[in-house]
Amino acid sequence: MQNYKMTIAYDGRKYKGFKKSKGNIEKSVQGKIELILGKLYERDIEVVAAVNTGAGVHAKGQVVSFTVPNKDLTTKELRDYLEKYLTDDIIVVSLEAAEERFHSKYQMKSATYQYRLWKKDAPYRPLFERQFVNLMVQLLNVDRMKKASQDLLGQHDFIGFTTNKKTRNSIKEIYDISIEETPFEIIITMTANGFLLNMERKIVGSLIQIGLGQIPPSSIQNAFDLKEADAIGHLSAPSGLCLKSIQY
């Protein structure tokens, strides 16, 4: 048997997320990869992701692990096989043999997501980027967003920032969050030891509302104090969200 660590990238527009579910195999990234490996090895091969990206969310640095029954193929041959049969919207960035105990999910230390907002006053509308940004129709106060984002740093109960009201452990720690402004975009990058369901989109949605003046910056701290599901913010569109990298 051989365990592998593989980094993949994908355009999430056609998928209901990374994770497969009943009746959803062909509409999941996991299902697509497992079908190819299953045909190759003539048995079920489970592919486990570091994080399960949601419906419509993209990835540049998703990490998965899987174990195959033999070492008949070299790493290059296996990668070439996957690349041959994968659809155009999923690519293998790298593939390497891993130690038997390596597990993409349980050994992950942190994940970094990036969200792209196309500014209303950008010099022109997005063309090639239009499927991967959230096109704003109002001006945002970036300074307000930056100031409010600092309240997200550290360990908190993020139950107010998830759409899963039944989550068992809502305590997460955000290590870093930055908001960069260019003539065209506002780019929000956040790194945490884990993310709850739709937590990234809830955070961005809240920062957008703060930038628009719809809710006060204190709303973030208020959500932590309330410890109630849906305590803050709207859910930003998945199109602007991308899993940038996984850290081990």
Note down pLDDT in tens along the chain; length 248 residues.
999 999 999 999 999 999 998 777 789 999 999 999 999 999 999 999 999 999 999 999 999 999 999 999 999 999 999 999 999 999 999 999 999 999 999 999 999 999 999 999 999 999 999 999 999 999 999 999 999 999 999 999 999 999 888 888 999 999 999 999 999 999 999 999 999 999 999 999 999 999 999 999 999 999 999 888 777 878 999 999 999 999 99
Alpha carbon distances (Å) from 101 to 4, 105, 106, 130 = 10, 12, 10, 41
Pairing of strands 58-68, 134-135: unpaired
CATH of 2-98, one of 2.40.50.140, 3.40.50.300, 3.40.50.720, 3.30.70.580: 3.30.70.580
Rounded-to-integer distance, Cα 61 and Cα 59, Å = 6
pLDDT computed for residue 24 by the predictor: 76
Residue 166 is predicted with a pLDDT of: 85
| Closest listed residue to residue 117, CA positions, set 192, 218, 209 | 209
Q: Which pLDDT does position 38 carry in this prediction? A: 96
Distance of CA 134 to the CA centre of its chain: 15
Quick one: pLDDT at residue 141?
Answer: 97
Give pLDDT, residue 165.
82
User: Quick one: pLDDT at residue 168?
Assistant: 84
* Domain parsing of the chain, residue ranges: 2-98, 110-247
110-247, CATH topology level: Alpha-Beta Plaits (3.30.70)
Give yes or no on whether 2-98 and 110-247 have one common fold.
yes
pLDDT of residue 33: 97
- Give every CB contact of residue 4 below 8 A, 6+ residues apart in sequence: 65, 66, 67, 68, 75, 78, 95, 96, 97, 98
